Amino acid sequence: MKNSFKKASMLLGIVMTASLLFSGCSKNTSATSSDKINVGALFELTGQVASYGTSEYNAVKLYVDDVNKNGGLLGKQINLIKADNKSATDESINQATKLIVEDNVVAILGPATTGNTKAASSIALSKNIPLITPSGTSFDVTVDPNTNKVKSEIFRACYTDPYQGKVMGEFAAKDLSAKTAVIYIDDKSDYSKGLAQSFKDQFEKLGGKVIDQEAYVAGDQDFKSTLTKIKGLNADVIFIPGYYQDTAKIAKQAREMGINTPLLGGDGWDSPDLLKIAGASALNNVYYSNHFISTDPDPTVQDFIKKYKDAYGTEPDAFAALAYDSAGMLVQAIKNANSTDPAKITEALANLKNFKGVTGNISIDTQHNPIKQTVIIELKDGKQTLKKKVSAE
């Protein structure tokens, strides 16, 4: 019954989307003919990952409000049009269609997650509207895996999963002088498996040896059996490329079992809830890659943090930082193009160089990924400290 209802709902969504696409087949012109520049802000504002989308929307709005307050862009105000995909791919398609066909946006910022970005991208590509995802990290967000061709209108502000796995493999081998490693992955997660493979490739390329790989499934509660095996292997580091809901529990149980080996991970570890779940005492000798750290003394970072806290009364996370940079990249591209024509904005984004962002100096490579620094965070009693910055290749 549920499946029938779901199929009917999906069919209705497809019909509505097709109707909008056909009814809006004329070239969008109203966005450039008025005194406003229409920009879509398509994020996960409700649903399962609403915390990601809300952080990102808040940061985008902060940037746009600042631009408008200071005279606007090309003599016009930016009209930010808010859209909620409800953390669902079918709604991402519906909302992207609405933004392009009905609202005549010249570009879309968002969504936050890979799946929703890929769904919205299908519409953006068909209508030749540029889209920048702040945090869609999967490689195939910007590149078609079947043809290996770059998706011409799709860009991102974050680095890719393979890249951060490689960074952490190099960090383990060079900075921690590790010779052996165990990898502990979420067996159902492409994110986790992607990071694990690139970590292994780089670690072993530099002379290390991955002596075992274990697996869990997101939502597991008891990791002690596997951790007992891992403890007996006595590896120099344990790489756990998962999300904080699981890695926090693994870290907590590992420390309770007397495993004091360095624990390494990717940006999935980044959440205020990590400390709440694992406890401060478990979060020592922990390192993970990230896009941003709030204690970075860089004036650009500190200026952003102050503005965000003044506006929302809370400290921004990495999602907010990436979204703030996404908005900045779009504004800079429109300035460079000296036009609000979507095709010219797309061209300017592809040629963007040395944009000074919160997450580093950003240039776009040939696959529409940012070339920029990576931050490695060390946790001390659960508090983030800047271990090092890794320069862009």
- The percent of residues in the chain predicted with pLDDT above 90, rounded, is 77
Helical (H) or strand (E) element with 223 = none
Distances in whole angstroms, Cα of residue 190 to Cα of each of 21, 197, 325:
32, 11, 26
Cis peptide before 241 (omega within 30 of 0): no
pLDDT band at 176 (very low <50, low <70, confident <90, very high): very high
- CA atoms within 13 Å, Cβ hemisphere of 328: 22
For residue 297, what are its two tokens? 């003394």
Residue type, 327: A
3-state class (DSSP) for residue 78 = strand
pLDDT, tens only, 299-330: 999 999 999 999 999 989 889 999 999 999 99
| Residue 13 confidence (pLDDT) above 60 | no
Residue type, 96: A
For residue 349, what are its two tokens? 């984004």
Give residue 71's pLDDT: 96
SS (H, E, C) 322-375: HHHHHHHHHHHHHHHHCCCCHHHHHHHHHCCCCEEECCEEEEECCCCCEECCEE
As a whole number, the mean pLDDT across the chain is: 91
3-state class (DSSP) for residue 136 = coil
pLDDT band at 295 (very low <50, low <70, confident <90, very high): confident
pLDDT, tens only, 101-150: 999 999 999 999 888 999 999 999 999 999 999 999 888 999 998 999 99
DSSP 31-46: HHHSSEEEEEEEE--S
Buried b (16+ CB within 10 A) or exposed e, 290-317: bbbbbebeeeebeebbebbeeebeeebb
